[in-house]
Amino acid sequence: MLAAQRRSEIIALLERDRIVRVSHLVSTLGVSDMTIRRDLLALHEQGALEKVHGGAVVRAEPSTAEPGFEAKSARQLAQKEAIAARAAQLVHPGSAIAVSAGTTTFALARHLVAIPGLTVVTNSVWVADLLHSAQVPSHTVLLTGGLRTPSDALVGPMAIAALRSLHLDTVFMGVHGMDAAAGFSTPNLLEAETNRAMIASGRRLVVLADSTKWGVVGLSSMAALSKASALITDTGLPQTARQALSDHIDDLLLVEPDEHAIGTEETHSRG
């Protein structure tokens, strides 16, 4: 196996498990301990991972790092689609919902087109544009005002004022990160404040987050894990994270990513 192939395999394993150990890589890739250590050093110098004693971990982004919408759209596509399809099953015709900004919630919006009679409140330029373009006669789409972030969320006092006057059935929210201590977080202070107002406007919070969001902590927390009635994520979530989330969230829904169909689901219910 060429060095480039080995290193690609290492990155794939790291994205799945969030941590890799030299001993495991030696047996998995069939090369020497020294070869693996050279690979990890090279990947560390490229900024692809963080080298630690005995292995490597995912390189932590600064808590203020905020990728743009298009950059995030290219990540975890199969996972996001499976999560979005499962979330759409929780939307009842005729209900009033909020959909936050984000690429996973944008994937959800594509499924909302097929559900009649919805009132959709969103601070996402992309979600509002998609639903407007679909021209579903029975839909009402409300776009909050506000300042536009790098991820194309509308945030700030105008958005917050609009959300505070609403009473919605369910809030569907994407997050930048989720962590046992920090809860659900974002790198943008105004977005955190806006999302808190959105959460308060709904009777139920459903969080949509692929497994790579576990352990990521943004600058500002939006809500504790226990605030979510349900979390939809993918089966790449480590077992330790599943337990930690199940301790706080009533319904942890795990979907199997699939390029062509909605994945199968596992359900972990608290209590």
What is the per-residue pLDDT for 263?
42
Q: Please indicate, yes or no, whether residues 51 and 120 belong to a single structural domain of this protein.
A: no
- The torsion angles phi and psi of 198, rounded to 5 degrees, stand at -65, -45
Q: Are residues 14 and 136 in the same domain?
A: no
Instruction: Give the pLDDT score at 185.
Output: 94
**Residue 144 is assigned to a structural domain of this protein:** yes
Could you tell me if residue 64 is inside a domain?
no
pLDDT in tens, the chain (271 residues): 788 888 888 988 887 787 899 999 999 999 999 999 999 998 888 777 888 889 998 776 555 555 555 545 545 688 999 999 999 999 999 999 999 999 999 999 999 999 999 999 999 999 999 999 999 999 999 999 999 987 789 999 999 999 999 999 999 999 999 999 999 999 889 999 999 999 999 999 999 999 989 988 888 999 999 999 999 999 989 898 999 999 999 999 999 987 555 444 555 555 4
Asked, for residue 63, whether it belongs to a domain, the answer is no
Query: What CATH number is attached to the domain comprising 189?
Result: 3.40.50.1360
Residues 22 and 146 reside in one and the same domain: no
Domain end (from 37, 57, 77): 57
249 and 151 belong to one structural domain: yes
Residues 89 and 162 in one domain: yes
**Residue 264: its pLDDT value, please?**
47
Residues 6 or more apart whose CB falls under 8 angstroms from that of 79 comprise 210, 211, 234, 236, 255, 257
Q: Quote the CA–CA distance of 134 and 112 in Å, as a whole number.
A: 10
Could you tell me the residue range of the domain that residue 25 belongs to?
A: 3-57
Q: Please tell me whether residues 44 and 76 are part of one structural domain.
A: no
Asked whether residue 160 is domain-assigned, the answer is: yes
What CATH number does the domain containing 41 carry? 1.10.10.10
Are 233 and 144 in a shared domain?
yes
pLDDT at 262: 44
**SS3 (DSSP) at 110:** helix
What's the whole-model pTM score?
0.73
